[in-house]
Structure 1
Amino acid sequence: MTDARVEQLLNDIRLVNPERHELVAAARRVIYTEVKQASERVMYGGFMFAAPKDFCGVFAYAEHISIEFGRGCDLHDEWQVLEGKGKLRRHIKIHSLAEIKSKHLAAYIKQAFENVNA
């Protein structure tokens, strides 16, 4: 069953910025492909994904979307795409559909899920 708040936020993004909506939808597809048992909820103005523990979030901004990892400091950054200098959090900025593949989003999603559920 789809959460009404998730559907509302998706619709809001679609109305305000169709290009960002396309990126959010693509990122969600990657997440559900890599972590079939994932669930999502609206939190902090974006989408938080858990299975059963939180492993990432997707947030839409004016010029990009950001895939946020609460324990991004623990991710092996093989392709040097993680941003952020905080103690724990890291993120990947996505500006185009091509970057979802070129920045290896699927690998980071899978790794984040495995790390929090180890």
Structure 2
Amino acid sequence: MPAERIANLLEDIRFLDQARFELVQSLREIILGLAPSISEEVKYGGILFASAGQPFCGVFSYARHVSLEFGAGASLPDEYRVLEGEGKLRRHIKLLSAGDIVGKHVREYLALALQASSKP
């Protein structure tokens, strides 16, 4: 059932905007490649990712961008100053194109979030 829900969400995104669909797929590929224990599920209108049951990020597609969300992002080091948001805990990286994945150092932030989620 979770795989079907993910497939349905992805198809909806593809129907609305092929470029955003490809961006979401690129992010999924990177995230799922971080560790064999990573799982994904549709929740809150996006795809949430967890490792060994511990959530560490989510991908949400909006009308004009894709947002990579970190539930505990306020605690992540922000060396490249790309984390947005001013809440107590959450931060996100707004992605407008595939080039933003490299330009905004997404892999590094994902690795930090994954590492932080595994700490007791």
TM-score by length of 2: 0.94
Q: Which fold has the larger relative contact order, with Cα–Cα distance below 8 Å and residues 6 or more apart in sequence? A: 1
Match in the other structure for 1:88: 89
Instruction: Tell me the equivalent position of 1:22.
Output: 22
Equivalence for 2:47: 47
Post-superposition offset of 1:35? 2.9
> Which SS does the other structure have where 2:87 is aligned?
coil
The two structures, once aligned, show a CA RMSD in angstroms of 1.3
- Listed as ranges, the gaps of 5+ residues in structure 1 are none
* Structure 2: gaps of 5 or more residues: none
Output the amino acid matched with 2:34: E
Asked if the contact 2:2–2:41 (Cα under 8 Å) also holds between the matched residues in 1, the reply is: no
Residues paired across the two proteins, number: 118
Q: Is the 8 A contact 1:14 1:21 kept in 2?
A: yes
Q: Distance in 2 between matches of 1:16 and 1:97?
A: 17
Q: 2-side partners of 1:90 and 1:104: how far apart?
A: 15
